[in-house]
Amino acid sequence: MKEKLKHSIKLVEKVFSENSISRENKGMLAFSGGIDSTTVLNLPPVLAAVKDGSIDLLFNDTLVEFPETRKFVRYVRDELGANVVIAKPKTTFKEIVKRYGFPIHPRGGKDYLKSRATNVCCSALKKAPMKKALKEHGWAISMTGLRADESYNRRTMAKRYGEYFFSKTYKHNRCHPILHWTLKDVWAFQKACGFKYNILYDKVTYLNDGAADFSYENAKKYPVRTGCWCCPQALRTGKLKWMREHFPKMFHALMINMGLGEVLLDMRIKKNANVKTRRALLMRDINYKEIFGVERALEAHPCYFDTL
Ligand code: SF4
């Protein structure tokens, strides 16, 4: 981690000097309130530049942020004196769901129709407001907390563009200072510096605690995502169990009022109907849908939607 830290600091210094970053020629850090952008914020040259007003923080408020994330962004603004620019979308998550359905399938998948809701949602709630803010503020550079090991797409991007490059889309230099860090590196850095982070990360959910041989040594934890509270993208990694345990009211609103439970139930029925050995499961799902309804099914069987 020490070598990676040295490298990131040198890289940021080089980027600042090559682009003459100052209070008159500002740069920007895309700050989501998650641990990765918080790590970039706490790299010494970035922190100094944020405090002296040469780097602005751009917080993209999707209007479906966790209260904890908003609170953390306010803390960063008030305690560090950071200039936080807030970008907001023109539409809402609810509107998108009404028109395209829930963004359940991964972004950029081969099946265009399946991934359409996710593509539209991320473009409307994240990309468009970000582009608008970039145009309005004309920052000389932008930085992110992107890491290559987060996903296949990010690894591909890292290989293609590297950690410092000219972005044709944004028409300025872009830098990903911790592109080659792992999640372990990030937390080791946090521990070494002791900087504050979003308290959502302290809400722990064990995914294998129902196993007979469960022990804290072999515990599998839900990898907390701090973005859009109602996003079902992370449900494959245990988000609904985490929501159920730590945010029961929001979980209820999402599953019942917003209708995600019904959508997931239909997906299950479709999946089980195609597999002969799943007849018993199929009958249970049909009973839940047609006799009990999602709300009563959840009361009787709370972990029902913990996995897809
Ligand atoms: S993370 Fe999910 S809810 Fe948020 S913008 Fe992307 S698809 Fe929409």
pTM for the model: 0.90
Contact, 254 vs 230, CB < 8 A? yes
pLDDT at residue 182 above 80? yes
The Cα–Cα gap between 211 and 226 comes to 27
Dist. CA 97 → ligand 1 center (Å): 11
Quick one: three-class SS letters along the chain? CHHHHHHHHHHHHHHHHHCCCCCCCCEEEECCCCHHHHHHHCCHHHHHHHHCCCEEEEEECCCCCCHHHHHHHHHHHHHHCCCEEEECCCCCHHHHHHHHCCCCCCCCCCCHHHHHHHHHHHHHHHHHHHHHHHHHHCCCEEECCCCHHHCHHHHHHHHHHCCEEEECCCCEEEECCCCCCCHHHHHHHHHHHCCCCCHHHHCCCECCCCCCCCCCCCCCECCCCCCCCCCHHHHHHCHHHHHHHHCHHHHHHHHHHCCHHHHHHHHHHHHHHCCHHHHHHHHHHHHHHHHHCHHHHHHHCHHHHCCC
**pLDDT tens, residue by residue, 36-69:** 999 999 999 999 999 999 999 999 999 999 999 9
Give the closest residue (by CA) to ligand 1 atom 4. 228
pLDDT at residue 212 above 90? no
Taking residues 90-119, report their average pLDDT.
Answer: 89
Q: How confident is the model at residue 114 (pLDDT cuts 50, 70, 90)?
A: confident
Most confident of 209-223, 254-268, 281-295: 254-268
**pLDDT tens, residue by residue, 119-168:** 999 999 999 999 999 999 999 999 999 999 887 778 887 778 889 999 88
**pLDDT tens, residue by residue, 225-264:** 999 999 999 888 999 999 999 999 999 999 999 999 999 9
């449900």: which residue's tokens? Answer: 235
- Mean of per-residue pLDDT scores for the chain: 92
CATH architecture, range 2-193: 3-Layer(aba) Sandwich (3.40)
Q: Which of 91, 105, 121 has most ligand 1 atoms within 8 Å of its beta carbon, as the pocket-test mutant? A: 121
Q: Which of 97, 120, 231, 250 has most ligand 1 atoms within 8 Å of its beta carbon, as the pocket-test mutant? A: 231
Higher-scoring residue by pLDDT: 291, 183 = 183
Domain ranges, ordered by start, for the chain: 2-193, 204-305
